[in-house]
Chain A
Amino acid sequence: MRPLLPALRIAVFVCLTLGAGRSFAGEVSPAIPSPEPGNPPSASAAGPRFVLPELHGFLETAGGARTQDDPNQPGAFDLGDFRWQLEAFKTLDGADFKYRGDILYDGALDKFDFDLREAHLAASPLASMDVKIGRQILTWGTGDLIFLNDLFPKDFQSFFIGRDEEYLKAPSDAIKTGFFTDYANLDLVWTPRFNPDRFVNGERLSFYNAILGRMAGDRGGISEIQRDRWAEDSELALRLFKNLGGYELALYGYYGYFKNPAGATSLGQVTFPRLAVYGASARGEFLKGVGNVEVAYYDSLDDRRGTDPLTDNGQLRFLAGYTREIATDLTAGVQYNLERMIDHENYANRLPEGSVRKIQDRQVTTLRLTRLALQQNLRLSLFVFYSPSDADAHLRPSVHYRIDDLWSVAAGSNIFLGEKNLTFFGQLEDNTNVYGRIRYSF
């Protein structure tokens, strides 16, 4: 019985939002002309003094369900979103203001939500300097869905339940400053208050709770020791980069915290231990395709010798990737990722009796196949994570179709495979799901 009620609410919400979409398209759009070529937005619509900002966005309905029972979750639905994203942009005196936010009814959790994606000011106080202040999405590094030196917040919940790939990135509240010279460029990002990942925590997706020593579909009474003090719990990320004749080279540094709970107290609370990361990457044309390599050294500052079994050890991470168009409109990409625990011996020696010992090298390979068809309106995609060391995998087949310039539909699946509950993808096996989305863009 239980899934019926949310389903009914979903249906009502669909009618409401799609109705709103129609009236929005019919009434609001003509009053706010999009910038036609050679015909900039005219001031006449709102009087000569103030020009309304351009409004854009989309309405989206998404639904998804587990394909098997998960004894740790209350119902079959793990995704039931009705989302209205609105974006506004305005330039004032050389500064650009951007707002982008989602009003969301989250049917799977039966709650309304507001997800502010971007709200920032961007300006160039000097010819060789850019600043962006406020809420923003931040991405750098060369990996495809694998992140080494990008320690900006991710949303793995959204990623695993079938939301659009853009939701893998969670917003940061930060100040980004860029300096640009002929020799090299420097990005500095200061996040005054720690922004953790939106990691899998039992809500919606079950996971292996190491403290409880079992699978958990909720927080299991475990609490996080938050890092939420302004300035004290801040993060600093920097990137020194240069494009050398088409080859993109970069050095990275990060000083902050593990982005998900990588530590625990003896009382069973989870923590975000201190972390420093140093790395480098290169990307460019290689054998008729694009090649990339990236390395990162994760320095676990609260456990530098690796002797504290309650805190994650430092790691050396390596990534190599290669992407190539193997036929017209068919692209293939492969990656190899290694995560080597640095003080594995110390870790192993101090591990309490009976604990499961993690292996020193976690290896993950990925494959991406993308096929475009029907005048590029149809996109068939498969992304596979396969870990030979963990013997687990995550498959992401999807199909996306643009019906016209306004409407698009998508469907896909998140398949998790693995024998053991202890491995990254294996623990998610009962969360294997299918989903569908329909979107109206304006």
Chain B
Amino acid sequence: MTAKFSSGLLVLIATLAFPALAGAAEDAAVAEIVRKSNRAAYYAGKDGRSEVAMTIVDSQGRTTSRNFAILRLDVEDGGKQKFYVYFHKPADVRNTVFMAWKNVGKDDDRWLYLPALDLVKRIAASDKRSSFVGSNFFYEDVSGRGVEEDDHSLAETTDKHFVLKNVPKRPGDVEFSHYLLWVDRVTYLPMKAEYHDKNGKKYRLVEALEVKEIQGHPTVTRARVDDLNSNGHTISEFIDVRYDLGLDESIFSERYLRRPPREWLK
């Protein structure tokens, strides 16, 4: 970690010392931060699993909850991934399974299994910036936003964080004009994201509330999203996180939608 950190620092020093070279060097440094941050946040280990307990609080303080197990497998490090999400609670979605094959450069393939109908449904949701299971988290917060979808620049470097400004390449596809991302300089985990709307107003906040080291991977174990427009928020707790379980890729298939792999869902 120290070695990686130093190289980043060197690039930064070089950037400051030789303004003429700044453009290219800074681009390289920023690209490196973005790459490492993406890996740290979404690609820890070759695979992983977690129980997730979500508490959704609306503007009037009413709470609802979602409990599910999530399995993840990296098909390519930093690239394609597969997700399997099995719902425990609430009762009306119990045993429902959501599966996604995350693609790079094209829409993800997504399925929903509805047990009461034994129905494997294909989801046609191209909008990744809509609520994930009714929470304030977006689908993209869970699966990761493609790093190639934004232009990144280093807005600031603080004691603890690189602050990246991210501007969408296709503004029409998203609801924000830009977002600021606080990346931990040691772990490269994104610790905070602030989304600004097209009028420049900050309207959405995603924060890591707790980080634990699990099998050598710094891991966010508690996160919060605030919707500043509606005053609703969601807190997610990640419980019993484990990496490198040796998950078989076949788990992420129709067979296991219809017959959940219970050994991994406990």
**A positions within 8 Å CB-CB of B:** 34-38, 40, 56, 58, 91, 96, 117, 122, 124, 130, 132, 136-140, 165-166, 168-169, 178, 180, 185, 241, 243, 246, 248, 283-285, 288-290, 292, 323-325, 327-329, 331, 333, 375-377, 402, 404-406, 408, 439, 441-442
The smallest beta-carbon distance between A72 and chain B, in angstroms, is: 31
The smallest beta-carbon distance between A442 and chain B, in angstroms, is: 6
Q: How far is the CA of A283 from the CA of B124 in the complex (A)?
A: 11
**12 interchain pairs, CB-CB under 8 A:** A37-B52, A37-B240, A56-B91, A132-B259, A137-B116, A138-B118, A139-B120, A285-B107, A323-B122, A329-B130, A405-B64, A405-B65
- Do residues B127 and A285 form an inter-chain contact, with CB atoms below 8 A? no
The smallest beta-carbon distance between B234 and chain A, in angstroms, is: 10
- Do residues A34 and B88 form an inter-chain contact, with CB atoms below 8 A? yes
- Do residues B65 and A288 form an inter-chain contact, with CB atoms below 8 A? no
Q: Which of B120-173 contact A (CB under 8 A)?
A: 120, 122-127, 129-131, 133-135
- Do residues A404 and B134 form an inter-chain contact, with CB atoms below 8 A? no
- Do residues B266 and A243 form an inter-chain contact, with CB atoms below 8 A? no
Contacts of B237 in A (CB 8 A): 37
- Do residues B116 and A406 form an inter-chain contact, with CB atoms below 8 A? no
Q: Which stretch of B1-9, B36-44, B179-187, B250-258 is in the interface?
A: B250-258
Q: How far is the CA of A311 from the CA of B28 in the complex (A)?
A: 74
The smallest beta-carbon distance between B238 and chain A, in angstroms, is: 9
- Do residues B62 and A34 form an inter-chain contact, with CB atoms below 8 A? no
Closest B residue to A132 by beta carbon equals: B259
Q: How far is the CA of A38 from the CA of B259 in the complex (A)?
A: 22
Closest 9 CB pairs of A and B: A37-B51, A441-B91, A405-B90, A376-B134, A166-B116, A246-B109, A323-B124, A290-B124, A37-B239
Majority SS of interface residues in chain A?
strand
- Do residues A136 and B134 form an inter-chain contact, with CB atoms below 8 A? no
Q: Given A243-B254, A377-B134, are A34 and B125 also a contact pair (CB < 8 Å)?
A: no
- Do residues A38 and B51 form an inter-chain contact, with CB atoms below 8 A? yes
Closest B residue to A333 by beta carbon equals: B124
The smallest beta-carbon distance between B20 and chain A, in angstroms, is: 44
B15 adjacent to chain A (CB < 8 Å): no
- Do residues B118 and A169 form an inter-chain contact, with CB atoms below 8 A? yes
Closest A residue to B126 by beta carbon equals: A288
The smallest beta-carbon distance between B210 and chain A, in angstroms, is: 15
Closest B residue to A332 by beta carbon equals: B124
Interface residues on B, range: 35 or more
Q: How far is the CA of A272 from the CA of B86 in the complex (A)?
A: 40
Seed contacts A37-B237, A243-B253; 17 additional CB < 8 Å A-B pairs: A37-B51, A37-B52, A37-B53, A37-B67, A37-B240, A38-B239, A58-B91, A178-B255, A185-B255, A248-B122, A284-B122, A288-B126, A289-B126, A324-B124, A325-B125, A328-B127, A441-B92
The smallest beta-carbon distance between B245 and chain A, in angstroms, is: 16
Q: Which of B15-57 contact A (CB under 8 A)?
A: 51-53, 56
Closest A residue to B114 by beta carbon equals: A166
The smallest beta-carbon distance between A142 and chain B, in angstroms, is: 8
Q: How far is the CA of A38 from the CA of B266 in the complex (A)?
A: 8
Q: Given A38-B51, A56-B94, A324-B124, are A139 and B240 also a contact pair (CB < 8 Å)?
A: no
- Do residues A375 and B255 form an inter-chain contact, with CB atoms below 8 A? no
Contacts of B62 in A (CB 8 A): 404
Q: How far is the CA of A130 from the CA of B255 in the complex (A)?
A: 9
- Do residues A139 and B254 form an inter-chain contact, with CB atoms below 8 A? no
Q: Given A91-B262, A377-B134, are A285 and B109 also a contact pair (CB < 8 Å)?
A: yes
B101 adjacent to chain A (CB < 8 Å): yes
Q: How far is the CA of A177 from the CA of B123 in the complex (A)?
A: 27
Candidates B109, B131, B259; contact of A122 at CB < 8 Å = B259
Q: How far is the CA of A185 from the CA of B254 in the complex (A)?
A: 10
- Do residues A328 and B130 form an inter-chain contact, with CB atoms below 8 A? yes
Contacts of A137 in B (CB 8 A): 116-118
Candidates A130, A185, A288, A439; contact of B259 at CB < 8 Å = A130
B89 adjacent to chain A (CB < 8 Å): yes
- Do residues B117 and A324 form an inter-chain contact, with CB atoms below 8 A? no
B194 adjacent to chain A (CB < 8 Å): no
Contacts of A323 in B (CB 8 A): 122, 124
Contacts of A56 in B (CB 8 A): 91, 94
Q: How far is the CA of A96 from the CA of B133 in the complex (A)?
A: 28
